[in-house]
Every structure is written in C-alpha cells, then in structure tokens.
Amino acid sequence: MQNLKQLMTQVSGVGRPPVLQPAEVKVQRVLAESLGAAGLTEGDNRGLQVTVECREDAAVHLDPGLIARVLGNLLTNAREAMQGTGRIELKAGIESEDHERTLVLRVRDSGPGMPEEFLRTALFRPFASTKRSGLGIGLMQCKTIVEAHGGTIRAESAVGKGTCFEVRLPASARSTFEEARAEARGRD
C-alpha cells in the first residue's frame, strides 16, 4: 500500500515545478543521504563496488532533500542497470569560474549503457524507459528538480560502456531560487 501511495505521489507531480526549501548544507551530507536512499554504501555491496569522492566538503545552498532525491534516483538507476555486479562512482566537487561557484555531481556506472538514439530523443521524457518495469518518470523529475535550482543535468552513455550523469548546480547564489520561482510562476 505504501508503494502505491508513493507511485501516486510521483505521477501526480509530473509536470509541476517542485517547491524548493533551500538550506545551507554540507555536500558530504547530501552524498550520504543519496547513498542511503539508493540502498547503497561506500565499498562492496555484494559484488557492486561503490566509490565516493568529495574533493571538498563545502557548504552549498540548495534543497538538500530534493538534490538527495536526484542523486538517489541516479544511483538506483545505475544499481539496477548493472543487476548486482559492476562499479558505481559518485563524485562531487566545486568549480569556480568568473567568481561563480558551481557544485558538480557525477554518477558513473560500468553498466550496459544506453543507445545514442534513446539519449538524444527520450532520456528525460516522461514514460520513456530502458527498464522493463520502469515508469520513465524518475529522470524527468530529476531534470525538473535540477532546473528549478538553476542547474543542468546531462548524460553520456554508450552501449557496453556504461553511463555518466553530470549535475551542475549554482553553489552559492541564493538569488537563483528566487529567479527559478519567478520563472515557474510565469509558466503557470
């Protein structure tokens, strides 16, 4: 019954911009919550090797629950794609350019990868999935959450060579949330 309620909540939220609750949080905390949400730990997970690299444990201003959900979804997709064996790398770091700080998050797996056609035409579309039992709403929701933060998400993948998702988020600009909210209100 709980799974059905979660599914209904997910499907009903498709297309609606998320309500952000930004807070200052350490990057390492978001990574830990994401791993837990995906049912993973750093190290060996019964044949699945998970590594975590956080170049600096800076404080960033974002919605920690929603970003943990994004990473948790990406980690879960990676785990499911590999069906129990392989490698997942979770990396985080801050990049600075022109006095702007950007939080860069990467989830890389050694799974089967995705066809280029699917990446180009369907990856972030609702109800498109490469999984037999997938609903195809998780990645669309990830994209919506990332864009609500003023960020970007992209994927690189090749059949037989694994997949890498990269999320880039403003790390310090509180005004990003106000801009994203104003833009979302303008679409309603």
Domains and CATH numbers, the chain: 21-187 (3.30.565.10)
Model pTM?
0.80
Distance in angstroms (rounded) separating the CA atoms of residues 26 and 179: 23
Q: What letter would DSSP give residue 170?
A: E
**Model confidence pLDDT, tens digit, residues 60-95:** 999 999 999 999 999 999 999 888 789 999 999 999
Read off the pLDDT band of 175 (50, 70, 90). Answer: very low
In contact, 61 and 171? CB cutoff 8 Å: yes
Name the strand (E) or helix (H) holding 80: helix 64-82
